[in-house]
Structure 1
Amino acid sequence: MDLQTRIPICNGTSIPCVGFGTWKTPNDEAAASVAEALRVGYRHIDTATAYGNEAGVGKAIAESGIPREEIFLTSKLWNPHQGYQSTLDAFERSLEKLQTDYLDLYLIHWPHDRKYFDNWEEKNIETWRAFEKLYHDGRIKAIGISNFRPRHLENLFNNCEIKPMVDQIEIHPGMAQDDMLAYCREHDMVVEGWSPMATGRIFSVPEVQELAAKYNRTVAQVVLRWHVQRGVIPLPKSVTPSRIAENSRIFDFELEPQDMARISALTDCGWSGLNPDNLVY
C-alpha cells in the first residue's frame, strides 16, 4: 500500500486510502498546505463549503500540474443550503471556487435533524434527490453523507434511488465507532474518519506514546496506521510541511493485533463535541 492505493466504492469507482483534510485551514494556508500535500504524494483532498477554503484548495490543485483525473476531490454541502434547488446552486458555486467541472465525491455535511426542523426527514430527502440528479448527470463520481446516524440514514434508504456510498464521521482512539463501522459496512458504505488525532489531544495519551516508542514511530503515524488497518480512510490535516510528509509515511510498518486492540479499547482521548443533536450553524 501507499498514499495512492485505492479502496473500492460500491458503484465501481475507488478512493485513495488516506486523504488530506483542510478543516479550520484558512484559504491562503489551505492553498499552501494542499500544494505541499500533493507534492508529497497525496491524491485525495477533502474540503467543504463550511470550511471557507474551497478557493484555496482549487488554486493549489490547478497550479499543481497534476492531471485533474489523478486527484480525488471531495467537498460538502453546508446545511443552510439544503433543499433541492439550493443544493444544485450550492454545488455550482463550489465547482467555480474549486476550478473544476466535477467532483469525485460530494457529501451532505450534516443531516437536518428534528432539533431544527419539524420536516427534517423531508429536507434530507429533497437534498438527496438533488445529489442523485448531479450523480446521474455525471457531475459527481460518488455521493455520500457525513455525520449521519442510523435514524438519518434509514430515512434516506427508505426514500432514495441511489444509496449513499460513503459516510464521513469522527473517528479516533477513544471514539472507535465500532457500531457505526459495522452499520456502514452492512450497507456497503466506505467510511472516512475526520479528526483522526482527536483534535490534537491524542498526542498526550500515554498508551499511544508507549506504542509510538515501541514501533519507533510518531504518535500520528501509529494512529493513522490504526485507521488504515481497520479499513477506515483517515483525513489528517496539517499546515506544517514536515508533518504533512510524516503523516504520509505509514505504509512500511504494521501494528500487531494486540496493539490494534489496545488502541481500540482506549476511552476519553478527546472528542470534538460535535453531533447532529447540538450542531449550531
Structure 2
Amino acid sequence: MTVSLHTITLNDGTIVPKLAYGTGTKWGKRNAVNPDAINPELVESILTALRAGFSHIDTAEGYGTEPEVGLAVGQYLKETGKPRSSVFITTKVDFGPDSVVTIKQVWRDLEELVDAKLTRSIGVSNWRIQNQTKVNQIEFHAYNQGLKLREFADKEIGTTIAAYGPLQPLIHFAETGRVQAVVNKIAERKGDGVTGSQVLLAWGWAVGTIQITTSSGTLDLVLTDDEVEEISNAGAEYPNQRKFAVGKVFDD
C-alpha cells in the first residue's frame, strides 16, 4: 500500500480516494418501515457531497442505500459529463453465519467480477487478523486503533484499513480521555478555520487508513509526526472503545 496526499494505492494497484462519504451510520435503513422506498434527502446529500469534491462513496447491501447512491451518482455524472470511473464506490455483500453459501464460494464469485472488470478490488468488513485480504473495513478511530491488526495488515499481507466511525472520539466518546482536547488544540494551532474533525481525519490518513465519514475534510491538511503521535498517545489511554456493535472485538 502506498499513500499520496489524496489517495491510497492498494496492493493490487487500485487507486482509492482516501476520503469517503458514508451512507450507513446516519442513513442506513436497517429499522425503516419501508426500506425499499427511495430517500430523496439521502440522494440530495450524496449529490451535495459529490459536488463538494467527494469522489468516494461508501454503501452496502445491508444499509439499503445502494439505490440512492446509484441515482445520485448517475445524476452527478450527467450534470458534469464526467466518466463513471471518476467516482469510486465501495459496497458490501451481506454474508451471515447462517448462509448456505461458503465464504470460499463467495470469494470466487467476487474474483470473477474483478476478472470481468465489473469491480475494481475486493475486500472484507469487520474481519480480524486470521481473516485478512486486500481491504478490511472496520470501526477505527483514536480510541480503537487496532494496532496488532494494522501491523499484520500492513506488514504481512498488504491489506488497507478503511475506517468507519473515525470521528467518534469527538461524538460518542467526546467526554472520554484527552483526544478531543488534543485535536482541538492542534486545530487552533493550524489556524485558517481548521476544525477538530479535520485534524482527526488527517490523523487517520497519516496512519494509512481510508476515512469514511459524512463530514467534510480538507485533504491538504498534513500533521507533523509529533502531532500524529500526540493524538495516538491520547487515544491509547482508553483503548478498544467501540461505538458500533458490529462483528467481533478486534485483536489490538
- Normalised by the size of structure 2, how large is the TM-score? 0.78
Tell me which residue corresponds to 1:201.
172
Counterparts of residues 8-47 of structure 1 (less than 5 Å) = 8-23=9-24, 24-25=26-27, 27-47=39-59
Q: Does residue 144 of the first structure (1) align with residue 146 of the second (2)?
A: no
Q: Does residue 276 of the first structure (1) align with residue 247 of the second (2)?
A: yes
Q: Does residue 125 of the first structure (1) align with residue 104 of the second (2)?
A: yes
Give the Cα separation in 2 of the matches to 1:64 and 1:275: 32
AA aligned opposite 2:189: K
Residue 258 of structure 1 deviates from its aligned partner by 2.0
- Give the conservation status (yes or no) of the 8 Å contact 1:197–1:203: no
Give the Cα separation in 2 of the matches to 1:274 and 1:38: 29
Give the Cα separation in 1 of the matches to 2:195 and 2:231: 15
Tell me which residue corresponds to 1:95.
none
Counterparts of residues 217-256 of structure 1 (less than 5 Å) = 217-237=194-214, 244=215, 247-251=216-220, 253-256=221-224
Give the Cα separation in 1 of the matches to 2:130 and 2:10: 23
- Give the conservation status (yes or no) of the 8 Å contact 1:43–1:70: yes
Deviations 1:86-117 (A, max 9, x none): xxxxxxxxxxxxxxxxxxxxxxxxxx4xxx68
Give the alignment partner of residue 262 of structure 1, picking from 224, 230, 247: 230
Question: Cα RMSD (Å) of the superposition?
Answer: 2.5
Give the Cα separation in 1 of the matches to 2:174 and 2:49: 22
Tell me which residue corresponds to 2:33.
none
Q: Secondary structure at the match of 1:141?
A: coil
Give the Cα separation in 1 of the matches to 2:174 and 2:224: 20
- Give the conservation status (yes or no) of the 8 Å contact 2:141–2:166: yes
AA aligned opposite 2:168: A
Give the Cα separation in 2 of the matches to 1:214 and 1:9: 33
Tell me which residue corresponds to 1:178.
147
Q: Does residue 213 of the first structure (1) align with residue 188 of the second (2)?
A: yes
Tell me which residue corresponds to 1:67.
83
Q: Secondary structure at the match of 1:15?
A: strand
AA aligned opposite 2:198: Q
Identity %: 26
Structure with bigger helix share is 1
Tell me which residue corresponds to 1:87.
none
- Normalised by the size of structure 1, how large is the TM-score? 0.70
- Give the conservation status (yes or no) of the 8 Å contact 1:6–1:15: yes
| Contiguous gaps of at least 5 residues in structure 2 | 29-38
- Give the conservation status (yes or no) of the 8 Å contact 2:139–2:244: no
Structure 1 stretches of 4+ with a deviation exceeding 4 A read none
AA aligned opposite 1:48: A
Residue 133 of structure 1 deviates from its aligned partner by 2.0
Give the Cα separation in 2 of the matches to 1:124 and 1:231: 27
Residue 17 of structure 1 deviates from its aligned partner by 1.8
Relative to structure 1, is the Cα distance of residues 140 and 61 closer, same or farther in structure 2, using a 3 angstrom cutoff? same
Deviations 1:187-228 (A, max 9, x none): 011221111112723555333333322323211101001011
Residue 273 of structure 1 deviates from its aligned partner by 4.0
- Give the conservation status (yes or no) of the 8 Å contact 1:202–1:208: no
Q: Secondary structure at the match of 2:13?
A: coil
Residue 249 of structure 1 deviates from its aligned partner by 1.9
Relative to structure 1, is the Cα distance of residues 230 and 273 closer, same or farther in structure 2, using a 3 angstrom cutoff? same
